């Protein structure tokens, strides 16, 4: 089963709005995606990295000051051992240095 490891906190999009780390209900909103299935993904300059679920989405769109290391996120756990890593300055995150 694929695993997305986020090295920055994603923004949680729900029917009632957006929640950021530190806001009341953020953890519960993030955990609500655990039993769900991914219905769509997007990786682009405008979207950055977006993972859609039936009940909302998580979006990685960090600022320079939110970076805590050399990576933003990593996707792994595929049967063929394929993986993907997103870093500042690359692909959808080219705006970060």
pLDDT, tens only, 64-96: 999 999 999 999 999 999 999 999 999 899 999
Show the beta-strand stretches assigned E in the chain: 3-6, 11-14, 17-19, 40-44, 48-53, 56-60, 73-76, 84-86
CA distance 70 to 61: 15
pLDDT, tens only, 12-41: 999 989 999 999 999 999 999 999 999 999
* pLDDT for 91: 87
Query: Quick one: which of 7, 10, 21 has its CA closest to 70?
Result: 7
CA distance 35 to 55: 11
* pLDDT for 81: 94
């Amino acid at each position: 089963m694929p695993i997305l490891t986020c090295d920055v906190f994603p923004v949680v999009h729900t029917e009632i709005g957006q929640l950021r780390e530190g806001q009341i209900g953020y953890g519960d909103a993030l955990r609500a995606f655990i039993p769900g299935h991914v219905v769509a993904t997007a990786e682009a300059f405008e979207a950055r990295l977006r993972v859609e679920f039936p009940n909302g989405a998580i979006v990685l769109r960090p600022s320079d000051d939110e970076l805590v290391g050399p990576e933003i996120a990593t996707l792994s756990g595929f049967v063929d051992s394929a993986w993907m890593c997103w870093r500042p300055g690359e692909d959808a995150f080219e705006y970060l240095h």
